[in-house]
Structure 1
Amino acid sequence: MDTQVADTLLGSLIDGRYRIRGRVARGGMATVYVATDERLERTVAIKIIHPTQAPEAQFGVAGFVERFTDEAKTIARLTHPNVVAVYDQGTHAGLPYLVMEYVRGRTLRDVLAERRRLNPDEALAIAEQMLAAIAAAHRAGLVHRDVKPENVLVAEAPTGGTFNLVDSVVKVADFGLARAVEASAEEASGNQLMATVAYVAPELVTEGRADPRTDVYSAGIVLFEMLTGRVPYDGDRPVDVAWQHVDRDVPAPSALVPSLPKVLDDLVGRATRRDPGARPADAGALLAEVQVARDDLGNANSHTTVLRRVTDETAPVAQPTMVVAAVRPAERPAWARLPEGGGQRPHRRRADPEDDDLGGGLAGLRTRLMGTPRGRLAVAAAVVVLGLVAALGGWWFGVGRYTTAPQLVSLTKAEAEAQAALGGFTLKYAASRHDEKVPKDSVLRQDPNPAARVLKGGTITLTLSLGPEQLPVPDVVGKEFELAQAELTNAGLVVAKGPTKYDDELPAGMVLATEPKVGTAVKPGTKVTLTVSKGRAPITVPSLVGKNLNEARGILAQLGLVPVESYKDSDKPKDEILGQSPADGAGVEKGAQVKLEISKGPPQVPVPRVIGMPCQEAKQALEGQGFPTTMQLNPNGVVHFQNPGENTPVPPGTPVTVTCL
């Protein structure tokens, strides 16, 4: 018994009636306790749903309890010796619970953990009772949806004695429980696969639907595990295991255990066909096939003679001459059959006189036919004709009506349709899937596989590729880092915190930018780096436009900022600040650079030559070109000197002095 002191339910009284005595097991949906019904003084089992299976925040406890109660009523009406009985239901601390029959024994999972695998007679004996229980549920319109060894209880045989798997009582539990939980989860977050992936039917994976044939498939996987000691598929992730049920046929048990007879391969193969329509219609139909298989194995064993070692005080020791499998019991316990005896072969009635007459007539006809050459020739001809008909029929049904499936994988949809049309095949499309290597709208897989046998003019199911799965980077700029991180993680992306930067607009802790940028198409699992704001910087940039360069340098030096200077042509005076970046009022940290645009001053023009010209004429010429002119000495004389000199480049409007003699 798995009990823990930390379990607060141990020793508690539920509904004023059920005293919890110990914890039996903990599963994916519920925990099972052994309790005493103090009102009726009997031992019961109580199954309490985990809080994670009925969270109020998602879909409301009230709605789940109502649905759970409806399922409990349905299960309680299901009365069968191989079904764990349900006595009561209710809620404790807001969580639904079931009060059930307490079965003294072990789960089939415990048996397999101890034995690894069972011999065929043991496996069929357990499967027969398990299917009897599921068949009763199917007749009542109830589908189990989660058939697995953990839900199959193997109790002690009613007759007592040693623990014998062939004579043990098998009971199935948890009818309708998976449906109650799953129906509520669908309302909250869409379809969810609640079945155990090792036993899940293909249609539950691809379409989310279940009917009696879904239980047939799971029962077939359980039988496979009992015979071989393992489930047919495994993988690193549950989704990988689930899709193997869709894409692959369950192997024959004899491929893992060569000693198993072919009748068991056929039985498992029929139960686990991927197409639900090709399986037995319900558990009752599969039960009939299991009982026939048990009869066949029993008849095979009944023709084997067991030679025992003979020893006594006088006789010599005889050596055994052969070893055979365990002989099947002559008769099954009464509780191991369906009430109506489904699947039992009718006994042949005793012959009556009319049979004797018929036998005598046939014997006489044979004598007359074989008594003459013509009769013998007619019989030989009939045998040849019947042989030819049988051969042709066998060829047609075994080979002639089949052909090989064409190679359609990796073709585009249009190419595949054209290729299928040439062979006369009909195409059906399964749900498309993403693939990293196969381009969009190309064939990812086909069923039947290339070169496999298929009926002429039959149907081929294609799965098209959606191409590599990509999604745009969500717009999280302007959101708090924690919210942005949650949104990106929910989208299937990996979040990394990048550098922090000061920003005048966004407060500290808000996302400034993403890398890759918002809207970029990326694969799931891509790393997205977030740049986060540190808030406004501590130093405010002053206004420097219009100031002289030297003045601007002094202001920046006092603030601990570094000027970065560049010059450009301008009509403004030389060294006047024309522009700055960052703009005035922006926040920066100490040591930040401030870019300054500085005027080179107006474009320079050459001073014309006026030496040798009369002073008055020279003055008119210079002032006519925009140079203010000053005359020295004799204003009526001739120019002997000029400053600036001739052809000297100077800014427009530069004063010129001429000396006249």
Structure 2
Amino acid sequence: MDTQVADTLLGSLIDGRYRIRGRVARGGMATVYTATDERLERTVAVKIIHPSQAPEARARTTGFVARFTDEAKTIARLTHPNVVAVYDQGTHSGLPYLVMEYVRGRTLRDVLAERRRLNPDEALAIAEQMLAAIAAAHRAGLVHRDVKPENVLVAEAPTGGTANLVDSVVKVADFGLARAVEASADDENGNQLMATVAYVAPELVTDGHADPRTDVYSAGIVLFEMLTGRVPYDGDRPVDVAWQHVDNDVPAPSTLVPGLPKALDELVARATRRDPGARPTDAGALLAEVQAVRDDLGDADANSRTAVLRRVSDEPMAGPTMMVAAVRPAERPAWARLPEGGAPRAGRRRAEPEEGESLWSRLSALRTQVMGDPRGRMAVVAAVVVLVLVAAGGGWWFGAGRYTEAPQLVAMTKADAEAQAARAGFVLSYADPRYDEKVPKDAVLAQDPASASRIVKGDTITLTLSMGPERFPVPDVVGKEFELAEADLLAAKLVVAKGTARYDDNLPSGVVVAVNPEAGTEVKPGDKVTVILSKGKAPISVPNLVGKSLGEARTILAQLGLVLVEPPTYKDSDKPRDEVLGQSPADGSGVERGAKVKLELSKGPPLVVVPRVIDLPCQQAKQQLESQGFPVAIQFNPNGIVRFQNPENTEVPPGTPVTLGCM
């Protein structure tokens, strides 16, 4: 049995102004509601972040909410007819929300669910407006990071409905929202991948880096889906789908939908190249390519409402062609035209020459006509002047105008260098990084061309990043012969020195016993490592002294030429006093003559008190003493009374004999 939980926000008043009327959609990051702005009496859309996307929001207001607020301010300044406008922002019950323009229509996801795939003219028309919105964001320094059909709204045309997608208005939503949530997630969980995996760019998967070319890749995947009705990759787990973007090239749409023009295959391929440097630099550049493709496809038959789309190249069609409506953007109503003014224009066709007329005759007639008319002569002079100016301008451009100075990027962090290069309009590439003792890790160590060098505007600058100071552990060479150990240490760029050799019971002569610094210690190239070699086992074997008395031990050590460390160490033991309990070095160890030997001796058993038994019957006194472990000797009368004892009431070692005098 399913249980439906009521939405507690329905009917509530947010910030004393926005009355929630209904729920429009619920996504992975937020829920969208329709609401009435009771102050301005208009319908708006309110997007509220899920609690799961802002955990412990109240405790993290300074971090997460502040970042969300900054993103909202940036989006609010982004004004464009194809961008969903942001009117207001705030927090409700600790959860950030955005108040946005309410767009009457459907998401591109809803359209694709109904239509499965779109005709090329519809797909390109939607792509133009989608890219126009993203290009405006890129010019403002904002990266969307989550371009997908769910964030593309297809608004109803003034004529009603969205059946004719070419005439529909497209608006893009959620600029910056993914980045605001991701920045918060980074604080808690490290670097997360927030973009939808079906549309994620390879660089977001491998290193989490995003720039305008990341949006270009995602837009290319959306165009692929509009043309084919599916995304290029699928898998059981999101991580499997994400890594397919890294490992594979996006297939050509025509492999799934035969008959699509080659120009569309090439357009999708350029937008979805795995190397970001090989894609269009931003959405504006891709928009220009989309408009050029619409020009080429529309010019296939400019005088017909129905045209056969052909490949841009001169190669013959390999498969059947596709019949599509050649709807020209210039024919759109004014409200639906793009502000960039990039709509294709039908080119004029040069009149064909009359049959049999020679080229020379036509040129002579044209010259006579032009030069015989004063206005014609003025036109020729003006044309010559224009050509001279164009030639001069072109010469200046190719000689100096297209050049600028390379920015100073050395010593910057990688992130700062990328931001500086992006502001100056340069593309970055990276050489192999190098170690450096002074330049910290991930800072720019060198650049090519160097700063202030002459460089073409928009050209590529190659950066070499620092890997920081080179540090590595001392190799473990203990147990190796000196020659092999020396080779290993020299290969690690270390300086080798020999220390004083010493005897070792386990390693033969000439083998490394120890190194200083020890193996595993972090060092830098050029550091000195001292190698200690073994002299083999020492000539004297330490005897086993355990169990012997101190006097015996002294005699044995003196005979071998070994020295007893004085004073010896005593410890509690039940063994007799001065009996050897332990020794160092252990027995069998090899030492040189004169080596010192430490002994551990017994303090003997603890002392006990002899009880006083005087005036007791002799036999009773004997029984009492023997029960406590004292041997008893009786003098005189064994059946008499004890008149004296030795020792008496004194601490003695256990088992000390006691003499009793009885009378």
TM-score (norm 1): 0.49
TM-score (norm 2): 0.49
